[in-house]
């Protein structure tokens, strides 16, 4: 079974605070509205665009999604 995107990005928590992937994961962890069970690019992408948080940029999301797709 494919793991949710949220569960995948949690593996980036606790890293270097200067790493955009770490900041993205930490911000998503603290965001209670993040679509935690989603495996849908469209659903997560719409959410990222809607909240417009500097720590969850669309560029970082695209990089993380590409890594997620490679793994799953």
How far is C-alpha 15 from the chain's CA centre? Answer: 14
- Tens-place pLDDT, residues 15-55: 999 999 999 999 999 999 999 999 999 999 999 999 989 99
Q: What is the pTM of this model?
A: 0.92
What fold characterizes domain 5-71?
A: DNA polymerase; domain 1 (1.10.150)
pLDDT at 23: 97
pLDDT score, position 52: 81
Nearest to 56 by CA among 24, 19, 31: 24
First to last CA, the chain: 9
Count of C-beta atoms within a 10 Å radius of residue 23: 21
């Amino acid at each position: 079974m494919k793991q949710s995107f949220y569960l995948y990005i949690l593996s980036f928590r606790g890293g270097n605070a200067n790493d955009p992937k770490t900041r993205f994961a930490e911000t998503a962890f603290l965001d209670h509205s993040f679509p935690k069970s989603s495996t849908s690019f469209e659903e997560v992408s719409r959410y990222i665009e809607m909240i417009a948080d500097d720590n969850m940029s669309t560029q970082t999301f695209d990089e993380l999604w590409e890594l997620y797709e490679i793994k799953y």
